[in-house]
A = this chain, B = another copy of it.
């Protein structure tokens, strides 16, 4: 089993139970940090002393507080850690349940496992750690399949941009001016209208208000 594990997790209660899970797996040598910067520092120190960690278990989102952090979240933490120590195994343990976000972590960051905080997350985490120790990849069962249920729509950056503008109170007719100022590719009012229309058609949504509600519910904005 892993010899030395670091937990990066801001919630104390979650932190505690992850430690307990590690104990159940017989891992005695473990550290935990509540902030990303602290976690990275520890990784660097251990690496410098040639006593490096061989597993990092980290959350994705860390709440901001008075302690201003250079590293804002788990994704950046993993990137920084891997830059120093490319062989470091990484298990992400987070509430995030968006498939694209998880896909990104596997494809672009090369994480070894993703465990979603959910009903049976402790046993799930245990399984993940065991799988990673055997050089396997792991992801929680309910994030395996493409959740392409029914009418779905793949929101592009442009879509998010214009919807965000609407949410900030920008009138639709003023959006082109903003887009031009920021050198965003299609900037015509017609393009904005067309895009909004195709989104609404794809999702069977009838007005802008319903669209905003949908995006808020799905955490798209």
Within 8 A of B (CB), among A95-136: 95, 117-123, 125
A34 within 8 A of B: yes
Question: Min CB distance, A36 to chain B, in Å?
Answer: 12
Give Cα distance in the complex from A12 to B10, angstroms: 17
- Indicate if the CB atoms of A210 and B123 lie closer than 8 Å: no
In the bound complex, do residue B12 and residue A166 qualify as a contact, i.e. CB atoms below 8 Å apart?
no
Q: Which of B120, B122, B167 contacts A210 (CB 8 A)?
A: B167
Taking the full assembly, how many copies of this chain does it contain? Answer: 2
Which interface residue of A117, A119, A217 has the most chain B CB atoms within 10 A? A119
Q: Tell which of B20, B118, B122, B221 touches A10, judged by Cβ atoms closer than 8 Å.
A: B118
Residue A1 lies at the interface, judged by CB distance under 8 Å to chain B? no
A11 located at the interface, meaning its Cβ lies under 8 Å from any Cβ of chain B in the complex = yes
Q: Are A171 and B121 in contact (CB under 8 A)?
A: no
Bound form: Cα–Cα A216–B212 in Å: 9
Residues of B within 8 A of A169 (CB): 205-207, 209-210
Interface flag for A154 (CB, 8 Å): no
| Any B CB within 8 A of the CB of A18 | yes
Say yes or no: is A17 at the interface (Cβ < 8 Å to chain B). Answer: yes
A125 to B117, CA, bound (A): 20
Q: Choose one: B13, B118, B206, B221; the contact of A63 (CB below 8 Å).
A: B118
Q: Mark A12-54, 1 if CB is under 8 A from B, else 0.
A: 1111111011000000000000100000000000000000000
For residue A149, which residues in chain B have a CB less than 8 angstroms away from its CB?
A: none
Which positions in A face B, CB cutoff 8 Å? 10-18, 20-21, 34, 63, 65, 95, 117-123, 125, 166-171, 205-210, 212-213, 216-217, 221
